[in-house]
Structure 1
Amino acid sequence: MNKNSPYLAYMLRLWQVNHQGSPVWRASLESPHTGERKGFADIKHLLAFLQEKTAPAAEINRTDNPTTNDQ
């Protein structure tokens, strides 16, 4: 896959830990293409990463196909 491809694939792992007496979800993403792993201390950071990775692709799709109806 090249960097300009409109396709992303990750293996998502989620697990819960006890942090200062409260349950917290941790996450990691692994690229099946490169084996690279990225860890996240919480779901908020996971979602921010995914939004960052997909924002340019979403903008490209809207300009390439203006008739797409996102519902």
Structure 2
Amino acid sequence: MNKNLHHYHAYLLRIWREEAGMPWRATLQNPHTGEQEGFATVEQLIDFIRTKTETAAQDTDN
């Protein structure tokens, strides 16, 4: 795999809440593949991004 791909992630972020006072929800869509990930909380979104970037960092170290 091209190592440069580990240094770049692109997503379309959609963030919303159903009503005032409700938790924010989010989706990330990969514009290249159309694949979507959904998140019930902002914390889940942040965990996903953290995992993606930590995995990419580990892959480039090998």
CA distance in 1, matches of 2:51, 2:26: 16
Runs of 4+ off more than 3 Å: 56-60
For normalisation by structure 1, the TM-score amounts to 0.68
For normalisation by structure 2, the TM-score amounts to 0.76
Alignment of 1:1-71 (within 5 A): 4=3, 5=5, 6-18=7-19, 22-58=21-57, 60=60
Higher CA-based Rg: 1
Shift of residue 3, structure 1, vs aligned partner: 6.9
Identity over aligned pairs, percent: 42
Shift of residue 58, structure 1, vs aligned partner: 4.3
Structure 2's unaligned 5+ residue stretches are none
Structure 1's unaligned 5+ residue stretches are 64-71
Q: Report the aligned-residue RMSD.
A: 2.2
Match of 1:67 in 2: none
Answer 1 or 2: higher relative contact order, Cα 8 Å, separation at least 6.
2
